[in-house]
Amino acid sequence: MINNPKRTSEEKHNIHPRNKHRYRYNFPELMASCPELSKYVSLNQFKDLSIDFKNSQAVKALNQALLKVFYGINHWDIPKGYLCPPIPGRADYIHYMADLLAERNHQQIPTGKSIKILDIGVGANCIYPLIGHKEYGWTFVGSEIDNKALQSAKIIVEANSLSNVIIIRKQISAEQIFTGLIRPGETFDLTICNPPFHSSLKEATLGTARKWKSLGKTVKEDSALNFGGKNSELWCKGGEAGFIRKMILESAQVSKSSCWFTSLISKKETLRPSYKALETVNAKEIKTINMAQGQKASRVLAWTFLNKEEQHSWLANK
């Protein structure tokens, strides 16, 4: 593992200050660590080394290199057609959540195995637990309903000798989020989630096809999902807003099981109905944390059923 990758001169100021990906990718260093990446790297129109981000194999090789160089993950792969996430954006979520926990811990980020995070929909890539543990030493439970994704995540965890700090757990019911997943007496310091974005398979397919088109490549609709992720990763009934509402209502049923509940929100219009749902369940505190990656704006919605004193006590007892 390269502990201090060389920085290039161009800094990205729109991502978290602790994000290791604030600088342009150092492709010579990445290729030296992961030779497989070399065949995808060439000079772009600006005479800079880069990859073709329309090529899913190139993106996967880049992820493998980033995870190895920056996080010491030597074995990472995903099945064909499953979501291949952008590492810098996923790291941002983790860092902002560390800041959230620090707010009720005398501005000190709580680290180590005693901090337990629940990742709803860990995916075949298992990205959040990998980054969260390597950055802060946290332990994770990752839930998944898709059997192939679940097995992929388990393989990644076991291949990197992380089974003692990352547990992959099956959510039996596709209609439930926390119910049936959190065990009696089990508590978490934080829950995280990257929810399905679309409301139907058709919307997901068309949306992914538009994404391909914007990147300069046309594909048939019936194959568009092969790059953008599997059905459960991309869509659910009610779309993002419906999923978040369900999550909020279920969180009230397990209100003392986590200090904070959080989720990424991709669509700004999802916020208003989410705030209304949080009012109905009498959340004690609600936060909206804005994030940005390039031209894409997103945010994290966070809520808790604990007052400030209870939050302080929760972390003080760790």
Decide if 179 contacts 205 (C-beta within 8 A): no
**pLDDT at site 196:** 85
Domain boundary among 72, 98, 116: 72
Domain stops at, among 53, 72, 91:
72
Do residue 159 and residue 298 come from a single domain?
Answer: yes
The answer to whether 171 and 180 are in contact (CB under 8 A) is yes
Residues 26 and 102 in one domain: no
Check residue 217 and give its pLDDT.
Answer: 54
Has residue 37 been placed in a domain?
yes
What is the predicted pLDDT for the residue at 50?
A: 96
Q: Say if residue 142 is in the same domain as residue 256.
A: yes
Residue 20 lies in a domain: yes
Whether 67 and 7 map to the same domain: the answer is yes
Mean pLDDT of 53-82: 95
Q: Which range marks the domain in which residue 10 is found?
A: 1-72
109 and 135 together in one domain: yes
Question: Do residues 11 and 118 both lie within one domain?
Answer: no
Looking at 28, 43, 72, the residue that finishes a domain is 72
pLDDT tens readout for residues 261-284: 999 998 899 999 999 999 999 999
Identify whether residues 93 and 242 lie together within a single domain: yes
CATH of the domain at 104: 3.40.50.150
| Residue 219 located in a structural domain | no
For the CA atoms of 210, 214, 218, 223, what is the dihedral angle to 10 degrees? -40
Model-level pTM? 0.88
**Contact 257/182 with Cβ under 8 angstroms?**
yes
* Same domain? 110 vs 10: no
Domain count within the chain: 2
**What stretches of the chain show up as alpha helix (H) in DSSP?**
27-33, 56-71, 87-102, 127-136, 147-159, 201-214, 225-228, 231-234, 239-253, 271-280, 308-316
Q: Which two tokens stand for residue 200?
A: 């139907």
pLDDT tens track for 134-182: 999 999 999 999 999 999 999 999 999 999 999 999 999 988 999 999 9
CA separation for the pair 176, 197 (Å, rounded):
17
> DSSP label at 167?
E
The number of beta carbons lying within 10 Å of the beta carbon of residue 261 is 28
> Is residue 119 in a domain?
yes
CA distance 168 to 128: 12
On whether residue 226 sits in a domain, the answer given is no
